Structure 1
Amino acid sequence: MAQTVPSKLPSGAEAGRDLSQPGIPMPADTAGSISVPGSAAVEVPKGAEQASFVLRSFVIEGATAFSADELAPFYQDMLGKTITVADAFQAAANIELKYRNAGYVISRVVVPPQEVTDGVFKVRVIEGFISDIVVQEDVGPVSAAIKRLLSPLIGKTPVTVDEMERRLLLANDLAGMTVRATLKPSENATGGSEMLVEADRDAVSGTVSFDNRNSPYSGNAEGLGLVQFNSFGSHGDQLGIQTQLSSPIERSFSISANYQGMYSEDGLMLGLSSSYGRSRPGKELDALDVNSVVMAERAIATYPLIRSRLQNLRLSGEYEYRAIDTDVLDNPFNRDRIHIARAGISYDLTDSFQGITAVRATIHRGLGIFNATEKGDPLASRADASGSFTKGTIDLTRVQQVTQTVSLLATASGQYAVDPLLASEEMALGGANYGRGFDNNEFSGDDGWATSLEVRYSPDMPEVFPNGVQFYSFVDTGQVWNIDDNVSHERTSASSFGGGIRINILENLFASAEVAKGFRKPTSDSSTKPQAFFTLSAKF
């Protein structure tokens, strides 16, 4: 009996949907630190309270960070008046405090030896600078990258703590690196400080995980392995290799390799990635002998406009080529070819309300060049779509600490397309992020939105869970729809709720279990059966 070939495959069985964008960058807990040696305030000599004079002029030498008008308020009310030497020293101390409050933490204000004649009192500002940078540990070729990032600090007068912080954070952005610094007064340069850099390199890192979150068309479970070789070159070069397998293994597998390195002293990161995946979906598609192959090549550039502990602003640019081939009953079914240029901006802020907010916005432009799929191509994954398109995406995340043990995680995502999209560019619901009560990528559309709220409780239970435990509950909802729908623009809505537990079994071994129930509209039966999910992962 001849098999009936559908006009398109179920959303969860279509290839190429898992080529997701990187997660929104978030502040790291292990950011580099700066240790600044303490210093005494301007020391008032004995008897200064008894010695007095009429202040005619207050001379400040060596100040370049602030204008004379900015420093005048510290002494102008005393001009023409009888003051004590202690009063003059206090004015000098206040000027030094202004420098420190402005971030010039290694600048000093001193009162040179002098005889006050004609009411003239002199102070000298020694604006601090970095005279030398010494990487104390031998961490291999990446030392050159660390010095390249920190060297712009040398000789900059005066240098601020914000400038030093940015440079150290960029050094910590090098793959597998933890970089800290201590400032030591220079023995040779007046006002200079040596930056003593401690650097630790995690040469190899990786992750192994196993879960049952994949699409049922791809089997019962999936495993992932990732190994990364960190900062092995003079650009903080990183090479990562990742493989993903389904269970049973013949249903799907993929392998990818990626490279990144920092190629400027201001933090410009360049990266390349290549991936290959093959899938043979099961269930009702097994009889159709569906076979898909996905190949993707990507080039990425990111640049940090702002890099600090409290806020970060990054620009990104990207080019991707994607080829997706699907055969049904040994006959060509889909042949998607997509060239995509992306431009994005991401921002994160750690605020005084014990929370972190992160946002990313990206413009995606499908380029009708080379072999890009043309509109009307009978082998396109969507009849009305082509490789030439424009869409915008936005992602929002808010992490809020409520009490010492209770926190909230709120997320939202949206997509707006100007043109109908090929399948792999559609927004999909279902899976670990949105639509947790549904199968992976169960619903999709050109446009869509989704939001999720998770309440987390992390009690201290050292006798039962010595490495940490977290209980959580969640609710999520979203909609997807197509541009070519009728005037009513009928939308597929999916919502789910549930809860679970995350356990740190060992320092680098983690497990989670979750139960979720989904609801969708429109459908004859809006309620789905509750589903149970698990994850087991290890880091090294």
Structure 2
Amino acid sequence: MAKTDTTPAGPVAIWQRVLVISAATLCLLAPPAQTQTASSVTPESFQPSLRDLSGSVVFSGNTGTQAPAGSDQIGITLAGVDLQGAFPQMAAANIAFEQRLTRGRIPVSELFEASSDLEAAYAEAGYVLARVVLPQQTLRDGGVLRITVVDGFVEAVDTSQTPPEIRSRIETLTDPLVNRRGLTMTQLERQLLLAGDVTGVALGSALAAGQRPGGTVIALDPQFRKVTGFIGFDNFAPSGLGSIAPDDLNGLVVNSGFELNSLLSYGETFYGRLSASPKGLFTSDPRYRVLAVGAVMPVGPSGLALNVEVTTSDTTPDTDGIATRSDFDRQSFRLIYPWIRTRKLNLTTQLMLDRQKDRLTLLDTGLDPVFRDQITALRLGASLSYPHDDGSLSEAGLTLSRGIDALGARTAADAAADGVPLSRQGADATFTKLVVSATHQRAIGERFALDLTGRFQTSFGDPLVTSEQFSIAGPGELSAFDTGDLRGDSGWVIRAELSSPRDIEVRGTPLTFSPYLFAGAGEVRIAQPTALETADESAHAFGIGIDLISRTGSRFRSNSLRIEYGRGERDNGSDNTRVSLSGNFRF
């Protein structure tokens, strides 16, 4: 039977459109807590982050050879050096070695010292398994010294201490090292770090001499947990979305998450995240609820991984004004590859496909949605991290997004045809935007630490739908304002945080106590603003805070608490004074 068209027609339809437009106008004029939609309080991703390898690569035994006692008192003159098995890549070091030993009369002890120095040069160049051997021989004045460079190799990887759930994945990652000649530290380190990145794993490793000449055995000592997770709280969301605490604390929400690690023994992880206000959590109109589930599946031994994630977010703000409900849904597909994975430099890229739906409706009216967005976005992201020799850390990120008219995307033409607008005037399903971020953390003397963060976005002059806009408010940036506030199509934000961390003990519990000062500034710009919007707005925030971090001694457990008092000032709208609370307890 054909579906009956119940869409109002004639005068009824006209009056309905008038009501929707009027309601939308009132929503735009409402306080920030009411106008912030579900998409504005939903993080871009819930994907578990990589875990740095917390173990270390240890070399057992002495490098080079030891000079016999008294050899520094005996001299010898060499006619030449027969350097066998030398690596062509080390030509400069090889020549310098020969010249050093043939420059004239030298003590016999220098034969051993030069051999040890050559081996160290090979190791510094990355050939950490290479050995420079001074074989037994009879040598007289005017003779030729025979030296052998043994191309070291990984004879075996000992996984006997590895739990069975992750043994197959660990062996997949480390098997490419076995019997590989000319192995460099970069290649060795990459595979061990990738093994340590397996979710739920904290990996320790050591190198020991093998049974064959030049052979090395890598002994792995991983710790593993099948289930990891966290629970926490914060009051970053607008007061209309929180509960539990009084309004001057903006209302707390609860955050929780879990990871199920290697259930299939492939090194995969299944994860879930929930951030919510307990008010109406299990109803069809929750006050605030963000739910995400996903999986990360490794592909082969190179570090390539596939991430699939589904997110649904719903908000029904508690307000005396017009009652609204906002819902935001996202399906994400990400292909992740670590191009560089070392202790000194890491470069990872992600190729992403996001399908998003964003809708705002008026409760109990039966009217059409105030707006409805459906976009499909292709994104290319890159992240770079560089630990400096002095202990400081620099990180940078870049994401280029392109909206495409495919897979159910809803264009401006579609909106004009069915009468339900997109969230922004002039916006469309096709768009381009670029986001760049950077952070730098360093110690200042022995008592202070400095943390600098910055981020900017450009939409190249075009309006964006609400879910793609840029916000400069929230934790870690202009934290004196509600998360998701101060939004625009383009903008920038910077923040500096000066702290003084120190170790303390409270009732036998070791803690790091870190008071800090912060200041930040930013600006957002709106393309093609309406009469109700401001084209450009600047804001700044400053304040003080305290971090408490437990020193558990565990590679899996960590607890933290942050208390912050901040003052925020903006060009348009009300200034804000805010007490922010957040805590996180990982197990």
Query: Shared fold by TM > 0.5?
Result: yes
Aligned to 2:169: 145
Aligned to 2:421: 379
Distance apart, 1:510 and its partner CA: 3.2
The letter for the 2-side match of 1:278 is: D
| Per-residue Cα deviation, 1:156-188 (whole angstroms, up to 9, x for no partner) | 22323332222111111110111121212112x
Secondary structure class of the residue paired with 1:330: coil
Name which of 511, 529, 532 aligns with 1:467.
511
Structure 2 unaligned spans of 5+: 1-18, 243-250, 281-285, 553-557
Aligned counterparts of 1:80 and 1:127: Cα–Cα separation in 2 = 27
Aligned counterparts of 1:514 and 1:69: Cα–Cα separation in 2 = 57
Structure 1 unaligned spans of 5+: none
**Gap change, CA 1:216 and 1:51, over 3 Å in 2:** closer
Aligned counterparts of 1:493 and 1:421: Cα–Cα separation in 2 = 19
| Per-residue Cα deviation, 1:507-533 (whole angstroms, up to 9, x for no partner) | 44433222111101035x6x33x2212
Aligned counterparts of 1:506 and 1:131: Cα–Cα separation in 2 = 38
Matched, 1:409 2:409: no
Aligned to 1:339: 376
The letter for the 1-side match of 2:564 is: E
Name which of 357, 363, 388 aligns with 2:394.
357
The letter for the 2-side match of 1:143 is: R
Task: Check the 8 A contact 1:126/1:191 in 2, yes or no.
Answer: yes
Q: How many residues align?
A: 532
Matched, 1:17 2:43: no
Aligned to 1:312: 346
Task: Check the 8 A contact 2:64/2:115 in 1, yes or no.
Answer: no
The letter for the 2-side match of 1:536 is: G
**Gap change, CA 1:234 and 1:80, over 3 Å in 2:** same
Aligned counterparts of 1:27 and 1:295: Cα–Cα separation in 2 = 25
Aligned to 2:8: none
The two structures have a TM-score, normalised by structure 2, of 0.84
Distance apart, 1:22 and its partner CA: 4.5
Distance apart, 1:193 and its partner CA: 0.9
The letter for the 2-side match of 1:350 is: P
Name which of 339, 355, 370 aligns with 1:321.
355
Distance apart, 1:309 and its partner CA: 1.2
Matched, 1:125 2:149: yes
Task: Check the 8 A contact 2:115/2:132 in 1, yes or no.
Answer: yes
Aligned to 1:276: 312
Aligned counterparts of 2:125 and 2:407: Cα–Cα separation in 1 = 54
Aligned counterparts of 2:48 and 2:306: Cα–Cα separation in 1 = 16
Task: Check the 8 A contact 1:32/1:169 in 2, yes or no.
Answer: no
Secondary structure class of the residue paired with 1:366: strand
The two structures have a TM-score, normalised by structure 1, of 0.91
Aligned counterparts of 2:267 and 2:482: Cα–Cα separation in 1 = 39
Task: Check the 8 A contact 1:31/1:309 in 2, yes or no.
Answer: no
Name which of 158, 161, 164 aligns with 1:134.
158
Distance apart, 1:490 and its partner CA: 3.8
Aligned to 2:298: 262
The letter for the 2-side match of 1:156 is: R
**Gap change, CA 1:406 and 1:81, over 3 Å in 2:** closer
Aligned to 1:302: 336
Secondary structure class of the residue paired with 2:164: coil
Aligned counterparts of 1:75 and 1:429: Cα–Cα separation in 2 = 62
Aligned counterparts of 1:247 and 1:461: Cα–Cα separation in 2 = 35
Aligned counterparts of 1:509 and 1:47: Cα–Cα separation in 2 = 58
Aligned counterparts of 2:39 and 2:116: Cα–Cα separation in 1 = 64
| Per-residue Cα deviation, 1:253-283 (whole angstroms, up to 9, x for no partner) | 1221011122121211211101122221222
| Per-residue Cα deviation, 1:296-350 (whole angstroms, up to 9, x for no partner) | 1001112111111122111111111011222213322221101011001111111
**Gap change, CA 1:27 and 1:73, over 3 Å in 2:** farther
What's the RMSD between the two structures over aligned residues?
2.7
The letter for the 1-side match of 2:378 is: A
Aligned to 1:492: 537
Aligned to 2:548: 503
Aligned to 1:34: 57
Aligned counterparts of 2:320 and 2:287: Cα–Cα separation in 1 = 13
Task: Check the 8 A contact 2:226/2:263 in 1, yes or no.
Answer: yes
